[in-house]
Structure 1
Amino acid sequence: MAETQTEPGGDHRAPRTRRLTAGAATARRRAVGLLATVISVVTTLVVLVLAVHIVFVAFEANTGNDLVRWFGERATDLCWQFKDVFQPQDHKVEVAVNYGLAALVYLVFGRILVGLVRRLR
């Protein structure tokens, strides 16, 4: 018959192996929760950058401004192949639709990924 380890001094609480397993499970839950939070924050920030760029274009923000230029460059980098999916005549509509589509894709896939990660708990 196998013996279980107990705490030194005769303490008859849960065996040591069970407590370590519970500790590992807690660490896993924390790591999964942290990973899900990081994914959620990153996707939210990407969507925010794309949305701010759309607003700047819609309201004709000064492209000479460093902040406007920074958002435009980041949004262009993050937009992937969505930059020219639709090509309406109006540049504002083009940016709103294409960059909006990219933001929607990030949002949906980010939420799906967060859901899958949270299932690992």
Structure 2
Amino acid sequence: MSAVAAAAVALIGVRFRLHGRDPAHGLDCVGLVAAATGRAAPTGYGWRSGDAAKAAAALDAQFQRTTDSPGAVLLLRAGPGQLHLAIRVGDGIVHADAGLRRVAWRPGAPPWPVLGCWKGEG
């Protein structure tokens, strides 16, 4: 398992918190990616931020593009005007699930369209 995938799995169960950056207090999807990859997380985004090009540019500034493989950061379209980030693990994804109010593992393929993949390591 890649270091990023292992770090994401270790965060399963952490409570959800919008704009959360510290696992002790809660994480959102951006905070999850920051915690799992050791990278800085942006701030100032809203609950609904459907500008995929802007999100992809922010990810391009931090990561290298890759394929959908374990340890990859996935940019997903979770709904109209709503983007979401997740970490690919071998048997599914780890993401901050607002509905479950925690970081969760979801088996299999993401249920949302994948807009891009970035290498979480390196």
Q: TM-score, normalising length from structure 1?
A: 0.25
Structure of larger gyration radius: 1
* TM score, norm. by length of structure 2: 0.25
**Structure with greater strand percent:** 2
More helix by share: 1
